């Protein structure tokens, strides 16, 4: 071994290199406060190694970026851990960089003759932040897509060259595929290359002037090896342990695929940029414009930090620099805390976060489903998923009148502004709750308590106006929950239907009505259906006689067909089926449905055929089963 090492030393002189690297003098002895620079270099190497492994499986395009990250996260061996380490090491690098900068300022390691090294460190800080920003977009998920748009807008606010610079950064005038490839090139090529170049210069200049020691009498002089190396190694091991624990037990987040057609109000920058995000939201900052808050003010702060080696030459300059850095640290922490507090107490934002979490779980279910990820990309899975799109369409088009189990379909209450208090209060529904549409509970309520079932109609302005006109003697056609034919039928037959002897007959009648929709999620007993059909047609019960459903609804139990004329009563042919619902929603005022009594908008012109299909299939529970709540609540199951 000695002969081999001698040969190697003769060829490359490794012993001299090791002596230079390991036996650097440390006045005052090794200390824990000196470990931050080494942990930064270690974290960057960790980023480099994990980044290379991620690069091997990553595909930068609009149709493959999210899909490749999903593959890494869910299917690549140890991919979830590798991606988690890369994600949290980036955050650790920002934290360590801030600590290192504070230590340099406090210890005076930026003063002459170390000004150049300090400035090189500031350049490295900008490169690290550039790496963090450029990497945020690469998963091509909703959060990264919308958050990075803010970054490119800030670039566009640069004086004089903003528009050209934004085009350069995002790869054109539009935000899209070339933005992704441009950011990937910066993240995986340009910024790492620049970081390695300036890191080499930084270390070379650092070695030229050595460690800055505040108290040389702290201890006996020593060398970098072995005491400081041991401390650095322990600190690096601590960083690795924290990063690995977060990667294993928490993992990196992956939202639903980026979809420019879907608004995403849950987008936020990473936590270490929240202070700037909150600063930009101050009314006075918004008044002066984006350039003022995102370029001029941060530029002024960076200029002061850049000039600190020169400021330190003045009397009291070093004290000013230290005080300024502590002030910036407090302001940054305060703004970050304020942003987190406001988000935590913002119900709209929390609802958006819950919905984003729900979509993130759902897309994994769809990707693992029978159809897998199509060639058109994973985003089409959510676009064509009734479980995802139905609640959104309901909230947008239906929740103004209807409710879905008491909410807007997305688990959020429907509110209005109280004119006296100017605060949001629950808005009364003006149509029936559709949370259990077509179920046995729906039909039981409709048959036995029709007036209460449709009682929300009485909250509508049109109802109050029509009621006044009718009471004044006008001939007004409108649906009255209290005095319509069906309300009278419900009151007249309720007592008979609720007789104990008729309990099984009532269950059979309800089973027959449920069967009309043909929904697979509502299985019924064929014998009950047959018995219920007879009751609906002739009204015969074991104890007493009810008015037969067929007396008014002559299409009950028949195949659904579009006819130009109606009987004056809603068609019950395949009632509640997808076919019935599509035609009803498209034109509820058709004679087959409500006719001249109708007050419901015709959605055949408001919704595209695809949107109508999504809404109908959601209402009838025709979608890939999910472990999420099927009620449309925004709250998701444990992930």
Each residue's pLDDT tens digit, 22-67: 778 888 888 888 999 999 999 999 999 999 999 999 999 999 999 9
What are 141's two structure tokens?
């998920």
Give the model confidence (pLDDT) of 543-568 as tens digits: 999 999 998 988 888 899 888 777 77
Q: Which domain does 149 fall in, by range?
A: 20-260
CB-neighbour burial class of residue 41 (10 A; exposed 0-12, middle 13-18, buried 19+): middle
Share of the chain above pLDDT 90, in %: 78
> CA geometry: angle at 111 spanning 109 and 116, to 5°?
90
Contact (CB, 8 A) for 318 and 312: yes
Give the model confidence (pLDDT) of 459-476 as tens digits: 999 999 999 999 998 989
pLDDT score recorded for residue 634? 39
CB-neighbour burial class of residue 3 (10 A; exposed 0-12, middle 13-18, buried 19+): exposed
> CA geometry: angle at 507 spanning 501 and 513, to 5°?
140
Contact (CB, 8 A) for 398 and 612: no
pLDDT score recorded for residue 289? 93
Query: Lowest mean pLDDT: which of 29-33, 97-101, 228-232?
Result: 29-33
Q: Taking 50 as the threshold, does the pLDDT of residue 637 lie above it? A: no
Q: What DSSP line would sit under 264-276, residue for residue?
A: -TT----GGGHHH
CA atoms of 522 and 472, how far apart (whole Å) = 45
Domain boundary among the residues 215, 238, 260 is at 260
Q: Taking 60 as the threshold, does the pLDDT of residue 632 lie above it? A: no
Domain boundary among the residues 211, 231, 260 is at 260
Q: Per the domain annotation, does 414 fall within a domain? A: no
Give the chain's largest Cα–Cα span: 117
153-162's contacts with Cβ under 8 Å and 24+ in sequence apart are 153/290, 154/290, 154/294, 154/295, 157/289, 157/290, 157/291, 157/294, 157/295, 158/291, 158/295, 159/291, 159/295, 162/291
Picking from 518, 511, 506, the residue whose alpha carbon sits closest to that of residue 576 is: 518
Picking from 180, 177, 119, the residue whose alpha carbon sits closest to that of residue 144 is: 180
Contacts of 178 (CB under 8 A, 6+ apart): 170, 171, 172
Give whole-number Cα distances, 346 to 120, 265, 341, in Å: 41, 12, 9
Q: Taking 90 as the threshold, does the pLDDT of residue 628 lie above it? A: no
pLDDT score recorded for residue 107? 92
Q: What is the DSSP code (8-state) at residue 293?
A: I
Which H helix or E strand runs over 25?
Answer: strand 25-26
As a three-state string, the secondary structure of 387-426 is HHHHHHHHHHHHCCCCEECCECCCCCCCEEECCCCCCEEE
pLDDT score recorded for residue 30? 82
pLDDT score recorded for residue 17? 82
Give whole-number Cα distances, 39 to 94, 242, 517, in Å: 11, 13, 65
Q: Once rounded to an integer, what is the mean pLDDT over residues 163-187?
A: 93
Q: Taking 70 as the threshold, does the pLDDT of residue 615 lie above it? A: yes
CA atoms of 171 and 363, how far apart (whole Å) = 28
CATH assignment at residue 172: 1.20.810.10
Q: Taking 90 as the threshold, does the pLDDT of residue 311 lie above it? A: yes
Share of the chain above pLDDT 70, in %: 98
Q: Taking 50 as the threshold, does the pLDDT of residue 374 lie above it? A: yes
Q: Per the domain annotation, does 471 fall within a domain? A: yes
What are 286's two structure tokens?
């918004």
222-223/415-417 β-pairing = unpaired
Q: Per the domain annotation, does 427 fall within a domain? A: no
Q: Per the domain annotation, does 235 fall within a domain? A: yes
Domain boundary among the residues 260, 290, 323 is at 260
Picking from 427, 111, 121, 79, the residue whose alpha carbon sits closest to that of residue 252 is: 79
Give the model confidence (pLDDT) of 410-423 as tens digits: 888 999 998 888 88
Q: How many domains does the chain have?
A: 2
Contacts of 248 (CB under 8 A, 6+ apart): 81, 84
Q: Taking 50 as the threshold, does the pLDDT of residue 635 lie above it? A: no
Q: Per the domain annotation, does 384 fall within a domain? A: no
Contacts of 242 (CB under 8 A, 6+ apart): 88, 92
Q: What is the mean pLDDT of the chain?
A: 92
Q: Per the domain annotation, does 366 fall within a domain? A: no
Task: Considering only residues 261 and 363, tell me which one the structure prediction assigns the higher pLDDT.
Answer: 363
pLDDT score recorded for residue 630? 55
Q: Once rounded to an integer, what is the mean pLDDT over residues 320-348?
A: 96
25-26/415-417 β-pairing = unpaired
Q: Per the domain annotation, does 551 fall within a domain? A: yes
CA atoms of 134 and 30, how far apart (whole Å) = 37
Contact (CB, 8 A) for 156 and 162: yes
pLDDT score recorded for residue 585? 96
Give the model confidence (pLDDT) of 60-97 as tens digits: 999 999 999 999 999 999 999 999 999 999 999 999 99
Q: Once rounded to an integer, what is the mean pLDDT over residues 562-579?
A: 86
Q: Per the domain annotation, does 276 fall within a domain? A: no
Picking from 45, 64, 298, the residue whose alpha carbon sits closest to that of residue 158 is: 298
pLDDT score recorded for residue 639? 39
Give the model confidence (pLDDT) of 124-140 as tens digits: 999 999 999 999 999 99
């Amino acid at each position: 071994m000695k002969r081999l090492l001698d040969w190697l030393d003769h060829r490359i002189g490794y012993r001299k290199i090791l002596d230079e690297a390991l036996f650097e003098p440390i006045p005052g002895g090794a200390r824990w406060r000196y470990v931050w620079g080494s942990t930064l270099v270690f974290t960057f190497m960790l980023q480099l190694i994990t980044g290379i492994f991620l690069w091997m499986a990553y595909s930068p395009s609009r149709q493959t970026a999210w899909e490749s990250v999903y593959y890494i996260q869910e299917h690549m061996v140890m991919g979830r851990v590798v991606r988690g380490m890369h994600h949290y090491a980036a955050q650790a690098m920002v934290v360590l960089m801030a600590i290192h900068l504070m230590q340099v300022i406090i210890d005076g390691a930026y003063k002459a003759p170390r000004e150049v090294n300090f400035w090189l460190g500031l350049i490295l800080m900008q490169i690290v932040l550039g790496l963090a920003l450029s990497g945020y977009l690469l998963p091509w998920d909703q959060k990264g897509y919308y958050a990075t748009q803010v970054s490119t807008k800030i670039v566009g606010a640069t004086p004089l060259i903003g528009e050209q610079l934004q085009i350069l950064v995002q790869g054109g005038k539009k935000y899209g595929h070339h933005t992704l490839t441009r950011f990937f090139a910066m993240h995986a090529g340009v910024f790492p290359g620049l970081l390695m170049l300036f890191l080499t210069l930084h270390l070379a200049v650092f070695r030229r002037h050595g460690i800055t020691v505040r108290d040389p009498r702290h201890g006996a002089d020593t060398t970098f090896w072995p005491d400081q190396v041991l401390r650095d190694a322990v600190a690096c091991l601590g960083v690795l342990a924290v990063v690995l624990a977060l990667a294993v037990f928490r993992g990196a987040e992956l939202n639903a695929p980026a979809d420019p057609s879907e608004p995403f109000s849950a987008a936020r920058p990473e936590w270490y940029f929240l202070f700037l995000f909150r600063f930009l939201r101050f009314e006075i900052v918004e008044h002066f414009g984006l350039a003022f808050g995102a370029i001029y003010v941060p530029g002024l702060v960076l200029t002061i930090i850049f000039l600190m080696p020169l400021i330190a030459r003045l009397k009291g300059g070093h004290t000013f620099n230290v005080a300024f850095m502590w002030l910036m640290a407090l302001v940054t922490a305060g703004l970050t805390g304020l942003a987190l507090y406001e988000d935590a107490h913002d119900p709209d934002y929390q609802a958006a976060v819950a919905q984003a979490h729900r979509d993130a779980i759902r897309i994994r279910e769809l990707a693992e489903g029978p159809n897998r990820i199509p060639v058109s990309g994973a985003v089409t899975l959510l676009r064509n998923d009734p479980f995802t799109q139905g609640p959104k369409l309901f909230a947008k088009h239906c929740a103004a009148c209807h409710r879905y189990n008491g909410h807007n379909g997305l688990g959020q209450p429907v509110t209005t502004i109280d004119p006296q208090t100017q605060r949001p209060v629950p808005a009364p529904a003006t149509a029936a709750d559709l949370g259990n549409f077509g179920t046995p509970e729906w039909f039981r309520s409709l048959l036995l308590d029709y007036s209460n079932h449709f009682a929300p109609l009485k909250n509508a302005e049109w109802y109050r106006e029509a009621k006044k006109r009718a009471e004044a003697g006008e001939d007004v056609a409108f649906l009255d929950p209290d005095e319509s034919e069906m309300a009278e039928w419900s009151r007249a037959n309720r007592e008979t239907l609720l007789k104990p002897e008729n309990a099984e007959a009532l269950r059979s009648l309800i089973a027959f009505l449920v069967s009309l929709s043909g929904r697979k999620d509502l299985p019924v007993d064929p014998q009950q259906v047959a018995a219920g059909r007879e009751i609906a047609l002739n009204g015969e019960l074991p104890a007493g006689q009810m008015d037969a459903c067929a007396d008014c609804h002559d299409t009950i139990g028949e195949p659904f067909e579009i006819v130009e004329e109606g009987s004056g009563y809603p068609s019950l042919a395949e009632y509640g089926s997808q076919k019935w619902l599509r035609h009803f929603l498209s034109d509820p005022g058709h004679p087959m449905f409500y006719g001249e009594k109708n007050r419901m908008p015709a959605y055949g012109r408001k919704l595209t055929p695809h949107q109508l299909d999504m809404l109908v299939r959601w209402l009838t529970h025709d979608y890939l089963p999910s472990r999420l709540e099927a009620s449309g609540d925004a709250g998701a199951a444990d992930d």
